[in-house]
Structure 1
Amino acid sequence: MMLFPGNADRHSRFPQHFLRLTLAFFAIHLVPATTWVAGLAAAEPESGKVAAESVDESDTDAETDPMKWMQKQSIVTGKPIYGHWGTDATKFSSWTNHSNRLIPVYTYGLTLSTLREQGSVYASADRLAKLDGTPGANSVNPLALYYDQTDVYQLQKAAIEAGCTNIILIVFDGMDWQTTQAAAMYKTGRVAYESGRGTGLAFQDDRRAITDFGLVCTSAAADGAKTDVDAQRVLTLNSETNRGYDVGLGGPTPWQERINSPYLIGEDKSQPHTVTDSASSATSLCSGVKTYNGSINIALDGSYVTPLARELQRDQEFKVGVVTSVPISHATPGAAYANNVSRKDYQDIARDMVGLPSSAHRNDPLPGVDVLIGGGWGEGKKEDSVQGTNYAQGNMYFHQDDMRRVDMNHGGNYRVVQRTAGKSGRKLLMDAAQIAADNTDRLLGYFGTKGGHIPFETADGRYDPTIDVKPTEMYSEADLFENPTLADMTEAALLVLEQSIDGFWLMIEAGDVDWANHANNLDSSIGAVLSGEAAFLKVMDWVDENAAWDHTAIIVTADHGHYLVIDHPEVIAEAGRNTRRPATQGQAKP
């Protein structure tokens, strides 16, 4: 059903047509207008959050930001407009967690040829058993053309063996094929593809270097574990044998999956294959092992595994960088470098990342990364038993005393910059990065707003989130001015890391995609993809400017998917065509 009418003079005539058709849609298919307006009035705001807004025909979002308007209506009515989240097609939101969808992988400067030559691990019972121990039933598929998430680690190893000295892993946390398609449709204003790699986003279209595309399975080895964070021990595992991927239930590709099937969200009682979390999946990406949900580079048997970044740092004197839009000690950035039995032991994960003694490395601290930039600033907490007995009251993600210990101004070895009232976040960060580069210093950038992350961009680029299944965020002018963007962070990291003579390994995480998808907010999710795209373009431009394609490998992927089902792709495309937004950032180069 087409909710957005096409017309030549769309910017002048769109709002009236849109409102008339959409309100007719509500009247016929959903609920009376009085019901959904009353629902808004009944919503109770949480502390520090924005209350749900009143909605009527004069709502200016319908004219200026139709994607935001559709998102708002979907939440208010509980009925799908552009699509639904979960397995119940009659409800807008019935699932807010991860899925076992096959996940896209895009490569630049390398191909998937090494994987194709050996074939999918899922095509061989023997190889799958070596990887997965005891994979769940029906995981062996002789015709499998998809790979495993651990193969992303193998791709990085292959790039090193081929002579690459710059390895850049860009992780769009929670971005499955459907999320990518939605962002591409919105950005281009058209439904340009229904299968395959796709087109419309820079990491789909850029052809400055040899590029490839494939799919990987993300299922975890166990859905969790009981652990002792003080002793750093794994006590017991949960559902260890429910790992794997059933192509008959999940589909051979994301565009051929069984829509609204409970299998992909782990709810199929006959085949409940474990759905991964970000810790387990990031461990697979960075260390090449399958493990339990919640593990930060800890194997099923409780042993420590060494992520590739630390191997390269130890054996080849690579510099290591980690950049994220969410707290620096969250699961994905943490798995780039740290060890911990629990992803929630944030302060100790941060200690590993900056080379301080931690619960996992008490007597022999890790060297620490060379560049660490991300969120977590300002998030204080008095108590947190999950983080163990060494939890220090204060910042829950990176304690202020630990920051002081590593600050060069207090005898440490990091040039530290953090959010400062009245100061431009971008300028502070870039100035510090330039000084660090000039003096071969390490760089630590600590920013964020409420919740610990940097402000989330919305689809129209204006940082104005609307209501979703979680309380709505609102940013002040100071939040936007005093924080850098993910693209800014990427630029700063590259400025410092390019000084390395031996090479570097860099992770860039667009973590806000996951946060938006958990909230079932496609408006914010699209914005997160586009902000990650801007960071990708910073990387591509840097490689171009430094003529570094002969020794650089870039991998763009996600750690897992969610469960957005796009029912009406044309309305997302039409919203993109009719949105009044700032000029778009760089475009993909041929």
Structure 2
Amino acid sequence: MNLKPGFTIRISVFAFVLAANACQHVPVQAADPIAKMQVDAVTTRQADWGYWGPNPKTYSSWKTHSNRLIPVYTFGIDLNAVSGENSLYRDAAAIEKLYGFLPDKTHNPEAEYFDQTDVYRLQKSAVESGKKRVILFVFDGMDWDTTRIAAIANSGKDYSEGRGEGLHFLDYRGTTTDYGYCVTSPRVDGTSVSVDKQTVINPEGKVRGGYDAKLGGNSPWEPPTDADYLIGKSKQTKHAYAESSATATSLTCGIKTYNDAMNVDFVGREAMPIARTLQQDGFAIGVVSSVPISHATPGCAYANNVHRSDYQDLTRDLVGRPSIYHPGGLPGVDVLIGGGWGINPKKDGGQGKNFVPGNKYIAADDLAAIDVENGGKYVVAQRTDGMAGPEVLSTAVQQAIKDQNRLFGFFGAQGGHLPYQTADGNYDPVVSYGNAKPAKAEAYSEADLHENVKLDEMAVAALNVLDARSDQWWLMIEAGEVDWANHSNNIDNSIGAVLSGDEAFAAVVAWIEQNGGWNDTALILTADHGHYFNLNRPEAFMQAASE
């Protein structure tokens, strides 16, 4: 991969703007219209085409998650058992059983939406119906609005409701497919824990979860009647909004829990993720992510912990090493490929007393112990100086298949995630929105691009190794940088991240069609939660798509 012409010039211009804290137009190459739209919006703090947060008068007024309803797309199975008349939100007793209490204004006899925990039940029922291959594909932070803007930018076509069109996962019809949307609210927010003792201090937290459709909308495309409701600031009904580990726990364990919990219930008791249940029945297990290997979503594929920030211990669970929650160790996954390489702090208070200085996500002793070169179970593929990432990964895949070993892949650039693909398909981000001012754009070296892999390559590698290990397997794939882009209020990065994930979906579908088809396969594509982008003028992105 080569840097886009003009890349160095663009970065120097943005550095000058940041240093001067200017709020004037910054020139961007005409060939990259969405990058220009992002830069103009950040420097002027306004955009007529859209904004982030509840305040339409400024481009950025909210930089974290929201309680929007989240899309769910299924392939090889449908949603009939959980949506519409079968929605648990039509049954007050079912809601109370799920949350442990009946949340205010949450019972809705006309609900078409279902709950995020139903995604767990869909996976379970798929296996019970005879499916031997289950894929949970999570676009972290991708709500309906994020999907729509990426689809418009990709295809030049707009839609205002429903499933939409313009991306591979929206358009694919090669098997039974369905579309719906779910509630992502946690059980509670504001819980305190002790990582060292692995205990929950105040299980009831500070704010309870729930979903008030009259304020938040009955569908993802229905505007909220109270813009502050979705971020937990309504004066009418206040519900906790989602964060990634509680929502990932819903996807993998089928329970509501507190924000920051990793596969534990509201008092810290172990919850069994479906991957471990299936592993006991002979399934091979794989986890792939474009962000660090033990972040909330990939960590919840397999591990347990009272807090999401205990990264090294979460990785220990994933690779079968003794951890603070499992001193005897878990069996470990068959495939783990993700980011986190090169992030080496000396201290990390969030990880407790047993944090080992060095890599934030896997301790050096653990990495050495799992390597087949030292008698471990994993062929290790790391980002390597001067070597092409795809070649490093491919060689490891071939060795793992040949010798019937497991596979561990470890890559990443700054921040630990894979390089951002931008809306134009290149890897040249522009300024994001920081704390009330522009934030420096990420800049990638030739080595960052050459030595890393892409999500589609990681996904196919995992599929090949899993299929060689068993005719039954479960795989989580996470397009994690969508969430990171949305936290930065960066529409260029957000679109690019969705497109990167969509490319991975297309690669997975091609693999399925070439390896036995859909009779034995179920794929569920969804997000863990939403953000708060609002699109005012879709034609701006339609025009950008045509340029």
What TM-score range do you get, normalising by the shorter chain?
over 0.9
Pairwise mapping of residues 345-360 of structure 1 onto structure 2 (< 5 A)? 345-360=310-325
Q: Contact 1:40–1:54 at 8 Å: present in 2 too?
A: no
Please give the secondary structure, in 2, of the residue aligned with 1:134. Answer: coil
Structure 2 equivalent of residue 410 of structure 1: 374
Instruction: Could you tell me which runs of 5 or more consecutive residues in structure 1 were left unpaired when the two chains were aligned.
Output: 1-37, 46-50, 579-590
Say yes or no: does 1:217 pair with 2:183: yes
Q: What is the CA-CA distance between 1:438 and the residue it aligns to?
A: 2.0
Q: Which amino acid aligns with 2:388?
A: S
Say yes or no: does 1:387 pair with 2:348: no
Match of 2:250 among 280, 284, 295: 284
Structure 2 equivalent of residue 518 of structure 1: 487
Structure 2 equivalent of residue 499 of structure 1: 468
Pairwise mapping of residues 104-253 of structure 1 onto structure 2 (< 5 A)? 104-116=71-83, 119-191=86-158, 193-237=159-203, 239=205, 242-253=208-219
Say yes or no: does 1:559 pair with 2:528: yes
Q: Contact 2:291–2:416 at 8 Å: present in 1 too?
A: yes
Q: Contact 2:252–2:273 at 8 Å: present in 1 too?
A: yes
Structure number with bigger Rg: 1
Q: What is the CA-CA distance between 1:271 and the residue it aligns to?
A: 1.3
Q: Contact 2:383–2:410 at 8 Å: present in 1 too?
A: yes
Matched residue pairs, number? 530
Please give the secondary structure, in 2, of the residue aligned with 1:275. Answer: coil
Q: What are the Cα deviations for residues 31-84 of structure 1, in whole angstroms up to 9, with x where unaligned?
A: xxxxxxx99856249xxxxx999845xx342x1000000000000000123200
Pairwise mapping of residues 509-588 of structure 1 onto structure 2 (< 5 A)? 509-578=478-547
Q: What is the CA-CA distance between 1:501 and the residue it aligns to?
A: 3.1
Q: What is the CA-CA distance between 1:431 and the residue it aligns to?
A: 1.4
Q: Which amino acid aligns with 1:448?
A: G
Q: Contact 1:318–1:500 at 8 Å: present in 2 too?
A: no
Partner Cα distance (2:82, 2:531) in 1: 26
Q: What is the CA-CA distance between 1:528 and the residue it aligns to?
A: 0.3
Structure 1 equivalent of residue 390 of structure 2: 426
Say yes or no: does 1:265 pair with 2:234: no
Match of 2:410 among 421, 425, 446: 446
Q: What is the CA-CA distance between 1:119 and the residue it aligns to?
A: 1.1
Q: What is the CA-CA distance between 1:527 and the residue it aligns to?
A: 0.4
Pairwise mapping of residues 56-95 of structure 1 onto structure 2 (< 5 A)? 56=26, 59-61=27-29, 63-95=30-62
Structure 1 equivalent of residue 297 of structure 2: 332
Q: What are the Cα deviations for residues 287-338 of structure 1, in whole angstroms up to 9, with x where unaligned?
A: 0000001000010122100100000001x11000000000001000000000
Structure 2 equivalent of residue 481 of structure 1: 450
Q: Which amino acid aligns with 2:410?
A: Y
Say yes or no: does 1:43 pair with 2:43: no
Q: What are the Cα deviations for residues 400-454 of structure 1, in whole angstroms up to 9, with x where unaligned?
A: 2210110011111100010001100011101111221122210000001111111
Q: Contact 2:85–2:112 at 8 Å: present in 1 too?
A: no
Q: Contact 1:98–1:561 at 8 Å: present in 2 too?
A: yes
Instruction: Could you tell me which runs of 5 or more consecutive residues in structure 2 were left unpaired when the two chains were aligned.
Output: 1-12, 435-439
Partner Cα distance (2:22, 2:275) in 1: 44
Larger mean CA deviation between 260-269 and 329-338 belongs to: 260-269
TM-score, length basis structure 1: 0.87
Q: Contact 1:394–1:400 at 8 Å: present in 2 too?
A: yes
TM-score, length basis structure 2: 0.94
Q: What are the Cα deviations for residues 469-526 of structure 1, in whole angstroms up to 9, with x where unaligned?
A: 1431000111001000000100110110111334000000000000000000011000
Q: Contact 1:406–1:412 at 8 Å: present in 2 too?
A: yes
Q: Which amino acid aligns with 1:500?
A: R
Match of 1:456 among 405, 420, 424: 420
Please give the secondary structure, in 2, of the residue aligned with 1:140. Answer: coil
Q: What is the CA-CA distance between 1:548 and the residue it aligns to?
A: 2.9
Q: Contact 2:75–2:178 at 8 Å: present in 1 too?
A: yes
> Using a 3 Å threshold, how does the CA distance of structure 1 residues 216 and 522 change in structure 2: closer, same or farther?
same
Partner Cα distance (1:260, 1:477) in 2: 47
Please give the secondary structure, in 2, of the residue aligned with 1:532. Answer: helix
Please give the secondary structure, in 1, of the residue aligned with 2:519. Answer: helix
> Using a 3 Å threshold, how does the CA distance of structure 1 residues 469 and 60 change in structure 2: closer, same or farther?
closer
CA RMSD after TM alignment:
1.7
Partner Cα distance (1:325, 1:400) in 2: 21
Q: Contact 2:164–2:170 at 8 Å: present in 1 too?
A: yes
Q: Which amino acid aligns with 2:326?
A: H
Structure 2 equivalent of residue 33 of structure 1: none
